[in-house]
Structure formats: structure tokens, C-alpha cells
Structure 1
């Protein structure tokens, strides 16, 4: 339990370190960067018993719940302590607020010690989300990009999203990473995400999927011995994402769900004012797969309503 304190408040970061019986590389894993995203947090609990140090080559550093105050406070997106989003706070600040100090600790004590990095997420409280893996890429960082892609594929998801950072030159130290995995990639570390679970609800098959995916990754990276022949898992690549946002505060009525394929011009939902009058209708600008769609009534101006993935 790692204590993090400011002059105003304090928190803890629960971390498990698996020291393998054989020397090797280090894999950093974070769960609960968003504390309302319960699927990876519960999967991380199971990994404590699943990962056997006697069979392990190398070290696995597992952050059980990065945003503990958000978790305990049942607070989507942001910490109830300082109202900051941990996954928009990297690389953090050692002299900052509660959330900024947590981000700094993860950056300097977890990410900096890792050869590979995985951040595990699910759909937050209002988000209907399909399950997918993702990897960071940049044309100026071909080795880290290629290894990250192989890691993402090894997880075994049906969909793989490429977070292409060419327009965000992470080689420039002046540009903040903001995201946890982006901070790892900026440091040249092959970096991947899991998105599995939706709406902050508990579904056993999703928890099992995350647990199995981490096991797949450990075998792929040779942290654990290969006990059986690798199975090739078919997948669909998503190279571009389209974000549709709200123009007004109001009440959102979706007409589609995550995982639906949509065509250009298809209606995805509408927003009403508080008296039921439609003030914005949302249509698909292009065809693609709905990766995420808000599935609870409240909506705020400029929030993302829908994310559409362009499949190859």
C-alpha cells in the first residue's frame, strides 16, 4: 500500500509485485485508473492468485486500483478529492494535487521501470462499449509500435484499435502525454490498452476475458512458459475513429448500441431539452462500427456521445 499525501489530503495505491524465480524483463500493468471501471479491477484481483512467481521469468508490477478515491467514492471519470481525471493527468506532478501525485508515482515508479506496459479499462458509468485491445504507434518509433501491435493481437480480442500518434509528436518532451499508456509509449515502451466491460456493471464473462487476455500476454512475452501451441486468433483492425459530441446540455436517447455496424446517414440518437423537445439529432457521418455510445440519459455540452471505428 503506497501512501500518497498532499497538504490537504491523502490516498493509497495498492500494488502487487510478482518477482519471478528467473531473471527477465518487467511488465507494468495498471487497473482502476478510472475507479468506476470495475471489470479490470476485479480481474486484477484474480491475477494475484493466477500469476505464479515460481513459474515466472521476470517481474510483473500490478497496480490493483490506481484511482482508489474514485473507486471508493463510486465516482466516474474523476477523483472526488480534487475533481481531476487521472487518465488526463500524466506524467503528473510530484508537488501537485492528489491525482497529479498519483500520476507522478505511476510514471516514475511503475512505467519507468517497465519494458512493456498494459493499462486496463472498461466502459465507465454511462458508456456502452465493445471489448477491444489497442496499441500506440508512431512512425518515428517503429520498434515500439511493432512490438505493441504484436502484444495487442496476442491478447486475443476480436477488434484491435491503433492509437496513431503521428499528429501528436510524443518525441517532443514539451507535449504532455495526458494518458497513462501514452506516457509509457512516449518513453519508448511498447504500450497497449484493454477496453473490456461496459456501464460500470459486473459481467462474469468480461472479467474472465480480461484475466485470460493477461495470461495470453504473459505467455506471448515469455514471462510464462509456453505450455501449448499458440492459437492464431482472427481479428479486425480499426485504424481511425470518429467522435460525435453533444452541442447542448440535455437528455440523450440512443437508438443504437455498442457493436452495431452503421451506415452513413443512419440515425444514432437524439438529445432533448428538459421538456422533451428535440434539440439535436445525431447521424453517422460515415459507415463503421460503434465502439462506444452513451447509454444513460444525462448529457453535457461537448461530451462525446458516440465513437465510430473505421474497420479495415
Structure 2
């Protein structure tokens, strides 16, 4: 096992269902020998793939935390062929505080891989996932949302695949998850230098996908249901949940992200577009009002891209550099 100061209360080699904590050492004024507890669940039974599922990598993203909490509670070892490892609140300090980043070290876990075994808590967590959990995994699903500031429809994210075999497996996961949209991008492979969980999975040869599931600081019931359904469909497709009976496929619209649309003024943003609305290049997508200067004309926010709205800002107050939309367009894979 890779050198790490994190200890697990769960024996990942043991069969059965176990729930406990990953103990991240954290010495502070109120607790000289204390630790931060990351909830971990292992459900293991017989032969089969090992699947790692993450939520709470960003603490203000909730659909995934709920979906994995319910899954870990409802599944029993006899339901599973293989092993399912679940982290419901992967960056526990951030999730407990309902923040994108950790209040302890301001660490953004999805920008911290490959981490540091001797670093700050967020770096230690990233290192443990990359060096301990991923090497024993065949697949990974990382559940996100738009967080406090953005909203996404239920969207799967995946790479093209570094090999034909990996591409086929990624397409299989996309079709099994069966979300309304898929964001397909390049890069990946064992030489990946990215700092995200997906990049960490790539470096370990783990077939991995991510999902953006709502956002805006709340829970969308339809998107949560899509996530719960998709997780079970994925496990079934990998022959890890043989007793599940999937319903019919609904279909996924594959997209390539063109880019984000940003503000250049401070004020209050009035959007003109909603999710999946068409967008033309140079079209005004909204305008910024200036309540502190009531006579000032609003400033239009113009898209440099064409396509459709994939993500939309949920917070009305904006500052220069804030993204208010993300634009994507249809992709045709060869």
C-alpha cells in the first residue's frame, strides 16, 4: 500500500458490508491528536469488478451525496457481484460546511490530485484516493453538480478514451447511465497531468466518468431520480447488480463544450436564456443592471459561441470574471 497517514476503519479486502471512516489526521487547538472522518462504505461479495463512487468532492453539490447515501443504505452484499466502494462526502470538511472548498485549508479537492501524503487535509485526501483507492478499482463514477453558482441538467462527462477498448467501455457507461446529455472531451490516458479525480483515474488505468447533476444550492427531484436510476443501470450493465431490472433507454444527446460566457461588469444579471435554449454567435444572452447607478444603461453579455445552453448561473449578483453560461454544441464521434 502507498505511504499515507490516513487510516481506514473499513477493511477493503473483507467480504460483506462495512461502514466507517477514513481518519485524516488533524491536530488543532481543541484536539491535539484528532482526526477528520470521511465516511466510507464497502459492499463486497464474490468475484466481479471493483467500482469506486464519489460524491461531495465539492461540498456544495448535493444530488450525488444523497444518491450515494441511499445506494449505500439500500444495497446489501447479496445484491452485489464484485465490490462497491462509496465516499459520500469525499472532501468532508467542505461538505460539512456546504462549501466548494474546504474551510480548513481552502483546498479544492478536484484541483488537488495527485495530492500529497504529508500535505494539508485536502491534499492528503487526494493522495489517498489516487494512491490507495484507485489502484484497486476497475471503474469510477464521480458525482458533481453546478454547486452554489451554476445549474446543469443531468449530464454525464467522459473522455474519448485513450484506446479503442477504453472508448468502448466509456460509451457503455454513457449509454448505461442514460442521462439526457453527455459532455464528451479529449485528453486522458495514463500520461494525464490533470489535477481532477478523472485525471487521477486515467493515470491508474481506471475507466471513469463524471456527472453534473443540477446545482444552485438545492435539490432537483427529477435530476436526483435520474442519478439514482443511472447508478443502478451502470452497476447492472457491469454485471455487478444482476438482480436489477433496468427500464428502457431514453437516449443521450452528446455534446462538446464550446466555452463559458463571462461578465465584464459588476452588477445584477438578468438572463435571457434557459437550459438547452439555442444560442447564436454574437447573440446577447442577458444583461447586467446597475442598481447603484439607476440611470446607467444595462450592459449586454454576448456569446462568442453558437450551440445550446448547457449550464446557467444561479446567483444574480455578478462580478467581472464570473461565468454566467456554458455553451455546448452537438458532437459526432467517428
TM-score normalised to structure 2 length: 0.83
- Which string of whole-angstrom CA distances, capped at 9 and with x for unpartnered residues, describes residues 26-80 of structure 1? 00100111111111111111102332310211000010111211122122x2111
Q: Which residue of 1 aligns with 2:42?
A: 17
Where in structure 2 are the equivalents of 1:74-89 lying within 5 Å? Answer: 74-75=98-99, 77-89=100-112
Higher RCO structure (Cα 8 Å, ≥6 apart)? 1
- Aligned residue among 207, 223, 231 for 1:190: 207
* 1:23 partner SS: coil
CA–CA distance in 2 between the matches of 1:148 and 1:24? 18
CA–CA distance in 1 between the matches of 2:263 and 2:123? 28
Judge conservation of contact 1:145–1:190 (CA < 8 Å) in 2. Answer: no
1:294 aligns with 2:313: yes
Q: Which deviates the most, 152-161 or 234-243?
A: 234-243
Where in structure 2 are the equivalents of 1:1-312 lying within 5 Å? Answer: 1-7=21-27, 10-20=35-45, 22-75=46-99, 77-138=100-161, 140-165=162-187, 170-172=189-191, 175=193, 177-225=194-242, 228=245, 231-272=248-289, 275-276=292-293, 277=296, 280-312=299-331
Quote the offset at 1:284 in angstroms.
2.5
The alpha-carbon distance between structure 1 residues 278 and 67, as it changes in their structure 2 partners (threshold 3 A), is farther
CA–CA distance in 2 between the matches of 1:112 and 1:240? 30
CA–CA distance in 2 between the matches of 1:228 and 1:170? 33
CA–CA distance in 2 between the matches of 1:96 and 1:281? 44
Quote the offset at 1:228 in angstroms.
4.5
CA–CA distance in 2 between the matches of 1:103 and 1:248? 36
Judge conservation of contact 1:136–1:163 (CA < 8 Å) in 2. Answer: yes
Quote the offset at 1:264 in angstroms.
2.7
Quote the offset at 1:151 in angstroms.
0.4
CA–CA distance in 2 between the matches of 1:58 and 1:278? 61
What runs of 5+ residues in structure 2 fail to find an aligned partner? 1-20, 29-33
Quote the offset at 1:193 in angstroms.
1.0
CA–CA distance in 2 between the matches of 1:85 and 1:229? 35
Judge conservation of contact 2:41–2:85 (CA < 8 Å) in 1. Answer: yes
Instruction: Tell which structure's C-alpha radius of gyration is larger.
Output: 2
Judge conservation of contact 2:189–2:205 (CA < 8 Å) in 1. Answer: no
What runs of 5+ residues in structure 1 fail to find an aligned partner? none
CA–CA distance in 2 between the matches of 1:182 and 1:304? 24
CA–CA distance in 2 between the matches of 1:102 and 1:50? 26
Judge conservation of contact 2:153–2:223 (CA < 8 Å) in 1. Answer: no
Quote the offset at 1:226 in angstroms.
5.8
CA–CA distance in 1 between the matches of 2:262 and 2:164? 33
TM-score normalised to structure 1 length: 0.89
